[in-house]
Structure 1
Amino acid sequence: MDSRERNLCLSNSASCYTRGARTKSSPSVIVIGGGIAGIAAARALHDASIQVVLLESRNRIGGRVCTDYSFGFPVDLGASWLHGVCEENPLAPVIGRLGLPLYRTSGDNSVLYDHDLESYALFDMDGNQVPQELVAEVGEIFEKILKESDKLRDEISEDVSMRKTFSIVLERRPDLRQEGLAHKVLQWYLCRMEGWFAADADTISLKNWDQEVLLPGGHGLMIRGYLPVINTLAKVLDIRLGHRVTQISWRYHGVQVTVENGKVFTADAAVITVPLGVLKSKVIKFEPKLPEWKEAAIADLGVGVENKIILHFEKVFWPNVEFLGVVAPSTYECGYFLNLHKATGYPVLVYMPAGRLANDIEKLSDEAAVSFAFSQLKRILPDATDPIQYLVSHWGTDVNSLGSYSYDAVAKAHDLYEKLRIPIDNLFFAGEATSMKYPGSVHGAFSTGIMAAEDCRMRVLERYGDLALLQPAIGEETNFSVPLLISRL
């Protein structure tokens, strides 16, 4: 039996947190969801001497962190970057203590967020490389359009999409319009922006698109994958895999959580860290119902889709750049490949569709998805050889995620993230979609897990009358600096 599945309290009728009274000295919490927010919350509660059990619907931990080893080396199918390679990043102490190396793919204030302007090669759909001078010129135009977008935001009261914003700006500033190949390059820049939000430009909010706090230090690729972080945090935890939650009943005196096989867990409180897409689907029933303002926050927050089609080749045949890009007349036709060989030394390219394109590709079989990605590669590199292995993610249709990560939708307030985070009595919420500062990021999910654990701990100990015995706040004992291992080859 796996150690995470072993628990002396396990029985057929009910699990460790059984119905009935518990002793005053045994405060207990159920954490729902085994992504990094849930793992962080459970670990913090465990370290604070709170009884905690974590329920995870998948047969693995990590959630949208998914490091695959089937190629013989680690490849992340989900999250793969640390956004903000600096000591201020909430994850820096954990990554530093583990000695996990990072490959920096951008400096500070990168408009394209996760790579430098000089570290890619763009091609048209006929396989002709775009002159780097033109790429740089259009990049400057793209930045000017964003600055003009800021002015527009200050002028208008209503919110509009980023695609509409670009249209208005180009009507006002015809000198910024691009034709021919330059127009295609501009569409590629916008396509990269869509990739950041995992959503199409016509759904991204002008008012709130840049409200996320970007930490300094640029962006670093986790060379060995994110799973070592998850596994380290998960040590000693009581984790129940294959436990899909169907109902959460909450009252002042405690919570009851029912899983798909009918088993019931009871505790003083619950920390809910399931993805926003799962909350939107309403597959988990709340009894009583969540307040209207909470349900509205769930409904109104945007959730996007970005997938990875990972191609493993026998040898490298592509330029030594971080990204290979395909420029086209529309963002839907544009595309890009992440070159993992530059960062890791392995002959791997990762095609990364987002938004409507990602959703359309998810309708295909894995073989057809790989064929599509490879056809895009053959457009720009006609001598490309067939991949020897591949992996395909399905974050939009995976019932355990139903999306990749959250974003600010048009005409919706940025404070929806905070409304989703706010506890309701003994229900606490965490995950990337509850972070106003760092939505859509691993460190955002991690930090909200720690925050929810601390709020939950205070609530439970208050109920048990143990506030006089309070330990230091969760996480205080880990505030020491460990250097991050950063390379830029």
Structure 2
Amino acid sequence: MTPTTATALVLTLTLAHYASLAAAAGPRVIIVGAGMSGISAGKRLSEAGITDLVILEATDHIGGRMHKTNFGGINVEMGANWVEGVNGGKMNPIWPIVNATLKLRNFRSDFDGLADNIYKEKGGVYDKEYAQKRIDRSDEVEENGGKLSAKLHPSGQDDMSILAMQRLNDHLPNGPTSPLDMILDYFKYDYEFAEPPRVTSLQNVVPLATFEDFGDDVYFVADQRGYEAVVYYLAGQYLKADKSGNIVDPRLQLSKVVREISYSRSGVTVKTEDNKVYKADYVMVSTSVGVLQSDLIQFKPQLPNWKVLSIYQFDMAVYTKIFVKFPKKFWPEGKGREFFLYASSRRGYYGVWQEFEAQYPDANVLLVTVTDEESRRIEQQSDNQTKAEIVEVLRDMFPGADVPDATDILVPRWWSDRFYRGTFSNWPIGVNRYEYDQLRAPVGRVYFTGEHTSEHYNGYVHGAYLAGIDSADILINCAQKKMCKYHVPGKYE
């Protein structure tokens, strides 16, 4: 018997041990976390008749990483901002809620003019024709990577990094080294996955299921109600809300920081930081994989080794959207100017910019996105230091313009926040269906959900939404149909 087969057998037997438990009438379920996945799971459970719920949310609001805040007189998004994957063969389940049901203000993001808007390190733009050639070559390599990816064994045993694929295609064999190639590579991969090509799985992102399934278009949500309105709408389907849409249902309890989850054959006990104790038949844990990797929540008994390993194998990436406000505009506007790049000799240094002529007229606000190591570095310094660095970069980009000092800045600190420990998951090299099955698999009466448990759409809002439904269905099968076995096939089966 191979090690992977043995692991699969142990997991099957562990879960099958609970299959003989009779499902009590009207089981009580605790949901840990009121982000998209937790709220989605609660909705699915309620639709199945499981309404004896309590949702424990660590913060003072629902929505999790979908969260608006006021900045310079407008509401902007701290986390998720786009509906990604629209106008394709399938319908992204988030799109009709945003565009038709709630009618949130949204704008199609147009990246076609990018070759016109790549700024040199010390000012001026790159020649459009040359920049477009480099973009076209990068696209060609990615297309070849997609063909290679389709031939790899589904287990992930032949997986490789995106960087390795680039080398196989004689593209930037030592990695991108020129400022132009670095920012184009960063825009294509880091800006999407929040980690560099050298650590990102080819097999899981090329081609990317979100765009293959739902379409290539992305829409930026810029509504003063916030993108979180989607979560409030879903919550309002089963939780009591007032006329303003605020959830007033006592089953939702905010500012409840879960610190301990005890589980046995007879049920679960959840303890919060304020020394409250909650008992139930099942618990659904919807925290981020970053939180699962931390010591915020203690499981008693400890989770089995196969579960711990599956949690630790995934990456929790950091994607930081920094909003900066100025007393006046000094940047180009107009068609094809919404996105522009800064080609620094330092990879990922304030590289991807967005202006809001359409979304937030007259707000004089720019957005610059950083990721990974730059995100962590910036989180450790003062906002004033970050503001100074940004103004220096902009003065280098626009040497002939009168670039004033910024009046305000918003720097989210997802990595430092103990309730998130990052922004979204990224699948490392070689991690595939087997590890995903283990990550999503319940441990006795403890169930798991979150964007990281979405096999094809991790990291996306629709992935979080669909993951909540999928995990709830697993719990429903056990609680109502006595189908408690969750079989994880061996990695190479």
Give, as a single letter, the amino acid of the residue that structure 2 aligns with 1:359: R
| CA distance 1:120–1:407, change in 2 (3 Å) | farther
Q: How does 1:7-46 map to 2 (within 5 A)?
A: 26-46=26-46
State which of 336, 344, 366 in structure 1 corresponds to 2:360. 344
Instruction: Report the TM-score, using the length of structure 2 for normalisation.
Output: 0.80
Q: How does 1:423-438 map to 2 (within 5 A)?
A: 423-438=442-457
Instruction: Report the TM-score, using the length of structure 1 for normalisation.
Output: 0.80
Distance across 1 between alignment mates of 2:116 and 2:385: 27
RMSD, aligned CA: 2.8
State which of 356, 374, 377 in structure 2 corresponds to 1:360. 377
Q: How does 1:403-418 map to 2 (within 5 A)?
A: 403-413=422-432, 415-418=434-437
Cα offsets for 1:85-135 (capped at 9, x unmatched): 2471121342221111321114xxxxxxxx334486110111111122222
| CA distance 1:278–1:311, change in 2 (3 Å) | same
Aligned to 1:161: 161
| CA distance 1:453–1:411, change in 2 (3 Å) | closer
Distance across 1 between alignment mates of 2:417 and 2:439: 22
Using the aligned pairs only, state the percent identity.
Answer: 27
Matched, 1:314 2:327: yes
State which of 343, 353, 358 in structure 2 corresponds to 1:327. 343
Aligned to 2:97: 94
Cα offsets for 1:188-239 (capped at 9, x unmatched): 1111111211112322123333264122151111121312112222332422
| CA distance 1:364–1:348, change in 2 (3 Å) | same
State which of 376, 392, 405 in structure 2 corresponds to 1:375. 392
Matched, 1:280 2:280: no
Give, as a single letter, the amino acid of the residue that structure 2 aligns with 1:88: M
Aligned length in residues: 429
Q: How does 1:186-225 map to 2 (within 5 A)?
A: 186-192=181-187, 193-210=189-206, 212-213=208-209, 214=211, 215-224=214-223, 225=226
Matched, 1:124 2:120: yes
The answer to whether the Cα contact below 8 Å between 1:212 and 1:436 also exists between their aligned partners in 2 is: no
Aligned to 2:227: 226
The answer to whether the Cα contact below 8 Å between 1:105 and 1:116 also exists between their aligned partners in 2 is: no
| CA distance 1:145–1:49, change in 2 (3 Å) | closer
Secondary structure, counterpart of 2:261 in structure 1: strand
Distance across 1 between alignment mates of 2:469 and 2:175: 47
Distance across 1 between alignment mates of 2:190 and 2:141: 15
Shift of 1:185: 1.9
Distance across 2 between alignment mates of 1:40 and 1:151: 35
| Worse overlay, 141-150 or 76-85 | 141-150
Q: How does 1:251-266 map to 2 (within 5 A)?
A: 251-266=264-279
| Worse overlay, 199-208 or 50-59 | 199-208
Shift of 1:169: 3.3
Aligned to 2:20: none
Secondary structure, counterpart of 1:246 in structure 2: strand
Aligned to 1:66: 67
The answer to whether the Cα contact below 8 Å between 1:249 and 1:287 also exists between their aligned partners in 2 is: yes
Secondary structure, counterpart of 1:282 in structure 2: coil
| Worse overlay, 28-37 or 67-76 | 67-76
Aligned to 2:170: 170
| CA distance 1:255–1:211, change in 2 (3 Å) | farther
| CA distance 1:124–1:399, change in 2 (3 Å) | same
Shift of 1:463: 6.2
Secondary structure, counterpart of 1:138 in structure 2: helix
